[in-house]
């Protein structure tokens, strides 16, 4: 299971995501939704009034956030590190055609990831870091004035809105949009249809 | 990463005329992180300007709590207000203890004011309309004893308590309020009455006030026991403006 970035043909399907990549994705998603749910209870007056138990929800939110980042780190450490590094390299590399993809010019054939997916990955990773740092500062600031900044809460809330926009686009393309939603199979089971890969990611899975 | 050593990476076609890929993703990641962290210095000022310039922009954005309020509580549930049985007790160092019903309270001399509400965590609600009674008028019938120097506000939300000195309670705009923005105080804002002291952070603006005791000196309130300043002047306490 080491060369999973390499297309492997089996019964018309080709491997797109390794087990490590999929676990990392779903751990990230699960953590995000736990923190979104508890965060909205803390943030929205109507929900706050209905649910109550703010100190408990706060603890779940904070320790959930710590657990989220720890779980992500653990998956990276215990999983296929070389594969992840390779994927990170793929994600951050923008070829001429990736730039064309963003500018809606041709040729714009995508590799294993298209330019939108690469941007999504970079922003998601940055948001995890910023959510974690600002959340930690909110928690520390409640205990020590040296960590108290008037703008921390604005950063944390702003990230919520930015990540919801990103998530809405991500969910639309992964679940709703007919042309792209087959990608969800790749993130669940690991493999995608060969003809789909050829059509949408031709520089990764090139026509024979 | 040395890409030549990784056969799986970046399977670009071997077209010699193509320039090598650029590490745009890393740049986007680092710029976003740097921009986000730097907002710790400019975020509040920027948001304040934006929300003033656009006027009520919060109301247009879905999800944003109305007017920018966030509701902070410390107990499992918010106190409920039953108008028929609710009483405000005034005791401690007074000549005559009082128990005021909701109607009796609202029959006292009223005053209103408009002020900004500042939370110590960084958010502000601009131009809140408050109506209520000034403490001088509220305490007139109870007649504080000469040795009384401070007010103890006991919230129905146990174990929340906080204090103001009598001098602080006489500052302009300080009220025991039962109306906010033209409506009876909502449950999450402390129904039926809360303290309003615009010059201090929100945690001194005790919600769900059930009991006011005259005491000889200001004690340590709920958040003050957790390290917050007793005199919570906006912009001049809790590590701000120092």
What is the ipTM for the molecules in this complex? 0.89
- Residue A107: CATH number of its domain: 1.20.950.20
Cis peptide leading into A154, omega within 30 of 0? no
pLDDT one-digit tens code per residue, B22-48: 899 999 999 999 999 999 999 888 887
Look up residue A138 and give its two tokens. 């909110």
Instruction: Judge whether residue B57 has pLDDT over 80.
Output: no
Q: What sign results for the dihedral spanned by CA atoms A202, A206, B1, B4? A: negative
- Residue B172: CATH number of its domain: 3.90.420.10
A39-53, A131-145, B89-103, B205-219: range with lowest mean pLDDT: A39-53
Query: Hey, are the CB atoms on A148 and B22 less than 8 Å from each other?
Result: no
Percent of the residues in chain A that have a pLDDT greater than 90, as a whole number:
70
- Is B149 within a domain? yes
Q: Is A181 on the interface with B (CB under 8 A)?
A: no
B4: confidence class by pLDDT, cuts 50, 70, 90: very low
B215: confidence class by pLDDT, cuts 50, 70, 90: very high
> How many independent structural domains does chain A possess?
1
Q: Do B81 and B198 reside in the same domain of the chain?
A: yes
Whole-model pTM: value is: 0.83
- Is B234 within a domain? no
**Partners of B187 in beta bridges:** none
Q: What mean pLDDT is reported for chain A?
A: 90
B169: confidence class by pLDDT, cuts 50, 70, 90: very high
B7: confidence class by pLDDT, cuts 50, 70, 90: very low
- Is B196 within a domain? yes
The Cα–Cα gap between B53 and B67 comes to 15
Q: Do B212 and B101 reside in the same domain of the chain?
A: yes
> How many independent structural domains does chain B possess?
2
- Is B187 within a domain? yes
- Is A128 within a domain? yes
Query: Hey, are the CB atoms on A45 and B71 less than 8 Å from each other?
Result: yes
Most confident of A46-50, A95-99, B42-46, B215-219: B215-219
B226: confidence class by pLDDT, cuts 50, 70, 90: confident
- Is A6 within a domain? no
Q: Do B76 and B156 reside in the same domain of the chain?
A: yes
pLDDT at position B14 is 47
Chain B partners within 8 Å of A137 (Cβ): 40
Look up residue B57 and give its two tokens. 């922009």
Q: Do B52 and B168 reside in the same domain of the chain?
A: no
Of B30, B71, B123, the CB nearest to A49: B71
Percent of the residues in chain A that have a pLDDT greater than 70, as a whole number:
94
Instruction: Judge whether residue B3 has pLDDT over 80.
Output: no
Q: Do B189 and B99 reside in the same domain of the chain?
A: yes
Q: Do B141 and B42 reside in the same domain of the chain?
A: no
| Number of Cα atoms under 13 Å in the Cβ half of residue B107 | 5
pLDDT at position B103 is 95
Q: Which residues contact A95 (CB under 8 A, 6 or more apart)?
A: A111, B12, B18, B21
Look up residue B45 and give its two tokens. 């000022």
Q: Which domain holds residue B91?
A: 72-226
Query: Hey, are the CB atoms on A86 and B22 less than 8 Å from each other?
Result: no
Q: Do B178 and B86 reside in the same domain of the chain?
A: yes
- Where do the DSSP E strands lie in chain A? 9-10, 13-15, 191-193
Helix (H, G, I), strand (E, B) or coil at B111: strand
Strands B194-196 and B175-180: antiparallel
**Partners of B128 in beta bridges:** B115
- Is B219 within a domain? yes
- Picking from B211, B116, B202, B127, the residue whose alpha carbon sits closest to that of residue B161 is B211
Strands B98-101 and B194-196: unpaired
Q: Which domain holds residue A128?
A: 11-200
């Amino acid at each position: 299971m080491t060369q999973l970035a390499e297309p492997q043909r089996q019964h018309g399907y080709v491997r797109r995501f390794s087990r490590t990549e999929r676990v990392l994705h779903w751990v990230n998603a699960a953590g995000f939704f736990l923190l979104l749910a508890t965060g909205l209870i803390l943030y929205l007056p109507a929900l706050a009034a209905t649910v109550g138990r703010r100190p408990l929800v706060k603890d779940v939110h904070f320790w959930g956030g710590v657990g989220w980042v720890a779980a992500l780190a653990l998956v990276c450490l215990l999983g296929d590190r070389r594969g992840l590094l390779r994927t990170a390299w793929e994600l951050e590399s923008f070829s001429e055609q990736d730039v064309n993809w963003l500018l809606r010019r041709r040729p714009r054939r995508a590799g294993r990831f298209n330019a939108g997916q690469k941007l999504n990955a970079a922003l998601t990773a940055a948001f995890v870091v910023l959510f974690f740092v600002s959340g930690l500062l909110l928690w520390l600031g409640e205990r020590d004035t040296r960590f108290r900044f008037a703008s921390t809460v604005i950063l944390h809330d702003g990230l919520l809105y930015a990540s919801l926009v990103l998530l809405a686009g991500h969910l639309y393309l992964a679940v709703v949009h007919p042309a792209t939603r087959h990608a969800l199979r790749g993130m669940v089971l690991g493999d995608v249809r060969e003809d789909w890969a050829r059509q949408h990611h031709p520089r990764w899975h090139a026509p024979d | 990463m040395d890409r030549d050593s990784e056969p799986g990476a970046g399977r670009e076609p071997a077209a010699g005329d193509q320039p090598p890929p650029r590490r745009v993703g890393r740049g986007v990641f680092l710029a976003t992180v740097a921009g986000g962290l730097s907002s710790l210095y400019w975020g509040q000022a920027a948001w304040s300007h934006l929300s003033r310039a656009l006027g009520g922009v919060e109301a247009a954005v879905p999800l944003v709590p109305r007017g920018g309020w966030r509701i902070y509580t410390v107990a499992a549930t918010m106190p409920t207000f039953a108008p028929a049985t609710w009483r405000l007790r005034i005791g401690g160092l007074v000549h005559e203890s009082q128990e005021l019903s909701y109607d009796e309270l609202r029959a006292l001399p009223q005053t209103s004011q408009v002020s900004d509400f500042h939370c110590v965590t960084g958010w502000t609600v601009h131009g809140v309309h408050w109506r209520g009674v000034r403490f001088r008028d509220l305490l007139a019938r109870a007649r504080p004893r000469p040795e009384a120097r401070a007010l103890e506000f006991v919230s129905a939300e146990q174990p929340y308590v906080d204090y103001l000195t009598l001098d602080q309670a006489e500052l302009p705009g300080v009220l025991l309020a039962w109306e906010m923005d033209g409506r009876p105080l909502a449950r999450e804002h402390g129904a039926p009455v809360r303290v309003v002291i615009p010059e201090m952070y929100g945690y001194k603006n005790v919600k769900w006030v059930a009991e006011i005791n005259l005491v000889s000196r200001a004690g340590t309130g709920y958040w003050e026991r957790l390290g917050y300043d007793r005199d919570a002047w906006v912009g001049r306490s809790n590590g701000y403006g120092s």
